[in-house]
Amino acid sequence: MDWLKKYIILTLGSLLFMQILSGQDQDDILLYIRQKLQNYCKAVPWEEIYIHTDREEYISGEDMWFNIYLIDRQSLKPSTNSRIVYLEVLNSENKPVIQKRVLLIDGSGPGQALLPDSLSSGRYIIRAYTNWMKNFLPGNCFIKEIQVYNALRTDISGKSFRLSATDDTLKYRRTDNPGIGVKVNNTRKDTLEIEIQTDETFRTDNKNTIYLLIQTRGIIVRLSREQISGQLTKITFPKKSLLPGISTITIFDSKGPVNDKYIFVSAEERELIDLKSSGIFKRRDKIILEIVPGSNPVQTDGLTNLSISVSGKSDSYLMNDIREYLIFGSEFGLSPVQSVKGRKFTDIPPAEIDTLLMSLQSRWIFWDKVFSDGNWNFRYPAEKEDHFISGTLLNSNLQPVSAEEPVLLSVPGKVATFQYARTDPDGNFSLGIHIDEELKDLVIQPDLSGKGQKVYLEPSFSKLYFRNDVTVNSAGLSGSASQMRTVYQVRKIFGSSSIGDCSSRAIPGIKAKRFYGIPDNEVILSNFIKLDSMREVFHELIPGILFQLSGSGYKLSVIDPSKSILDEIPCVMIDGVIIKDLKLIASLDPDLIEKIDVIRNRYRVGGYVFYGIINLITRSGDLSGVPIPDNAVRLNYRILDSSGLFISPDYSSPEALNSPVADYRNTLYWNPNVVPDKNGKAGIEFWSSDVKSEYVISIMGFSSSGEFVTLKKVIKVD
C-alpha cells in the first residue's frame, strides 16, 4: 500500500507539472521552475549533522567526548532550525547501547557519554538526528563508526558490520523518452560542456526548446531556455559561475524533468587557522598550543566556537573531517560517504568520481514534491523552542482515531498548566514542552475517556535503521589499541577520571502560570470549619456549583454569573489534572484539599473550550494518593541529558609533579568551546601524561561566514 501511495503521488506530480507547463509561455515556465524550487527549499530545509569526537577508538568503560554541529544543507552554515539532537550508539544488531538528547546553542552542542564496560570488542555506530530529520529517516542522519575494544580480552573478536546503503526512496525521473540523451564534460579546467543529443521527433514535439537548470544544494546557479537544432547541441559556460560541491544539471522538456546529471566542483582549500607548538614534550610537561590565523585567514571576528581534542595516534581512520563529509552529507546517502572514507575527494581518480556521481540520487530535492501543490505535511516538527512528545491516539479497538480528536497534557502542581493537541488523519499528535533540564511530571490523556480511547506514546528515539551486513572478525590488537588497553587498566586501578562536575547549557525553566488566570472564586478550606464530605464542601462553601447524586453516579453543574446553568459538563481538576470520574471527587477526604479555584463561565484555550473549571488543589500539590485516569499516561520526563566537564591533572606544583599516582590518559585534552579572540588567536594549555606516544591534535569548527575549519597536527611525548 505504501508503494501504491508513492506511485500515485509521483503520477499526480508529473501530471500537474505537464498541465501547468502546457498553459504557460516560455518565460513563465522559467519563473515557475524558479519559484517552485525556492519555495520548496524554504519550506523543507535539509539539516545535516557532523560530530567531532575526541577519538575514534575506545576501550569499553571509557568516556566518549563529542561536539555536535548542526548545518543547514543549502547555506552550509550553522543551523538554528533545531535545538535538540538525538544521539545513539548502536551495536551490530541496531540495538542502542547509549541514547542521549543533547542541547544545541547557535548550531552546536557538546556532550559526553560513558561507554558501558560490558561492551564486547567490535565496531559500533554513532547515529544522530534532530526531530525534524526524523521525517526523512533512516537516510537523513549522521553516521559514524567507532572501534571499541574490551579491556579484558587480548583480541578484537566480535561482530563487525557494513551498513547497507539501500534506499527505497522514490525519485521523479522520466525515462520514457528515448528521444533525448545528455552527457556532461567536466574535464576542462575552466569550462563546463553539456552535450544534448535529440532525435527529430523530440525536437518537433518540443518546438526545438528545452529548459536547463543547474542547482547546488537548492541554490539556482543557472536557469535558461535553450534552443536545440540538429542531432547534437552543445552548451558551454565558465566553471567559475558554479558553486563548490555537488551540482545537479536537470533538463526539462515541455512535459517536465527529463534527466539529472551530477557534477563535482572542488572548493579552494583555505588554511583558515594554524597551530604553533614546540612539537616534542616530556612526560608531565606543560603543553602550550597557540591557534593563529592561517595563510588564508578569515576576518578577525569570523571564527565561532572550535572543538579541540588531543588524543593518542590511532592505527585506523574511520571518519572524514567535516569538509569532506559535507560534500555528500546525508543528502546523497551512505554509499558515497563510505566510498570516500579516509580519503580526500580531490585525491580520488576522475574515473572513480564519474562512477560515483552516476550512482547519486538526492534524498532531498524530489521533483514530484517540488512541483506539488505545496501542502507538505510532516509528522515531526522542528524543535526550536519546544521539545515534542509524539504519539498516536487509539480507539477501543486499538486502531488510530480520526482527525481533530483532542489529546490533553497537564503538569500536576499547585499552579494549573494545560495544553492540548489534535490528532491528524492518522491519529498522530505532538505535544510541545519547554526545552530545559528540569525533571517534569507529565500526565497525558485523551479527552473522550468514555469512548475507551488510549494514548500510545512513541519513543523519542527512532526505530528506523539502516540494514546491517554483519560479519565476525578476529585479529590481534593493534599497537595503538594495545597501549589504550593498558592505559585504561592502569587508570581503573588508580581510580582516575577526566570527568568534572556536570555542565548545563540549558535555558532556565519557565515559571508556571495558572492557565485560567484569576479564578472567579478561590476558596481556602482552612478558613472554614472542617466538613465531612466533598458534597458538603461544594454545597456549603462553593457558590454557583451544584454537586448532586444522579442515579448510581454524580452530576456536577456550574451556574454562570448570569444565574444560568451551563449546558455542558464543566471541567474538574485535581492539582491541574483533568478528572472525569466524579465518584473519585466525591470520595476525597476534604482534609487533603488546600483550596478550590472556580471559573464560572466558558473559558477558551486556543480552540479548546472549558464549560467552567473547578480545580481542587491538594495540600501536597502533586496528585499524590490520587489515582490517575485508567487511560492516562504519567511520565517523569527529563528532556536533556547533562554532560560532564573534561578535566586533566595540573602538574605545576612539585607535589603533583612527583606524585606516585600514575597518569595514564588516552585523551590528554578535550575542549568543545574554544573561541579565538578578535585577532583570531587562542591559547591552550594542558599537561602531558606518563605515556610516551604520538598524539593527534584535531581542531574542527566553522567560521561565521560558513567556511569549515579543520586542522590536524601531531605532537610527541618522549
**What's the pLDDT score for residue 406?**
94
| Average of per-residue pLDDT across 476-495 | 55
Query: Residue 373 above 60 pLDDT?
Result: yes
| 392 pLDDT more than 70 | yes
CATH fold label, 521-638: Ferric Hydroxamate Uptake Protein; Chain A, domain 1 (2.170.130)
Report the C-alpha gap between 516 and 519 in whole angstroms: 7
Residue pLDDT, tens place only, 166-189: 544 444 444 456 788 899 988 888
Number of C-beta neighbours around residue 548 at 10 A: 12
pTM here is 0.89
Cell 572478525 locates to 473
> Higher pLDDT residue, 319 or 58?
58
- Counting every residue written for the chain, the total comes to 718
What value does the mean pLDDT of the chain take? Answer: 85
Distance from chain centroid for Cα 686: 33
Transcribe 433-461 into DSSP letters: EE-SS-EEEEEEEES-GGGT-EEEEPPSS
Using the CB atoms, write b or e for 290-320: b if 16+ within 10 Å: ebebbeebbeeebbbbbbbbbbbebeeebbb
pLDDT(16) > 70: no
Q: What is the mean pLDDT of residues 592-617?
A: 94
- 588-612: average pLDDT: 93
Cα–Cα distance for residue pair 198/501, rounded to 1 Å: 69
Lowest mean pLDDT among 109-113, 333-337, 545-549: 333-337
Residue 153 has pLDDT above 70, yes or no: no
CB of 51 within 8 A of CB of 69?
yes
Say if residues 442 and 411 touch (Cβ distance below 8 Å).
yes
pLDDT for residue 168: 43
Q: Domain coordinates of the chain in residue numbers?
A: 521-638
Alpha-carbon separation of residue 584 from 572, 578, 587, 588 (angstroms): 11, 12, 5, 6
Q: Read off the pLDDT band of 28 (50, 70, 90).
A: confident
Residue 351 pLDDT > 90, yes or no? no
Would you place residue 220 in the very low, low, confident or very high pLDDT band (cuts 50, 70, 90)?
A: very high
3-state helix, strand, coil in the chain (%, to 5): 15, 40, 40
Is residue 158 predicted with pLDDT exceeding 60? no
pLDDT at 300: 47
pLDDT band (50, 70, 90) for residue 209: very high
User: Running DSSP on this structure, what letter comes out for residue 400?
Assistant: B
- The residues that bridge with 101 in the sheet, in sequence order, are 86
Question: H helices then E strands: how many in the chain?
Answer: 11, 42
Average pLDDT score over residue span 518-538: 93
Instruction: Report the share of the chain in percent with pLDDT over 70.
Output: 85
* Most confident of the following: 216-220, 483-487, 566-570: 216-220
Q: Is 340 helix (H, G, I), strand (E, B) or coil?
A: coil
Alpha-carbon distance of 44 to 574, in angstroms, equals 42
Q: How far apart are CA 622 and CA 379, in angstroms?
A: 32
Neighbours of 597 (CB within 10 A): 20
Tell me the per-residue pLDDT of 70-100, one tens digit each, with 9 for 90 and over: 999 999 999 999 999 999 999 989 999 999 9
Q: Quick one: pLDDT band at residue 1, thresholds 50, 70, 90?
A: very low
The amino acid at residue 289 is: L
pLDDT band, very low/low/confident/very high, at 141 (cuts 50, 70, 90)? very high
Residue whose cell numbers read 498553459? 23
Q: What is the pLDDT of residue 7?
A: 37
Judge contact between 383 and 130, C-beta under 8 A.
Answer: yes
Question: Residue 14: pLDDT above 50?
Answer: no
Residue 4 pLDDT > 70: no
Q: At 652, phi and psi to the nearest 5?
A: -75, -20
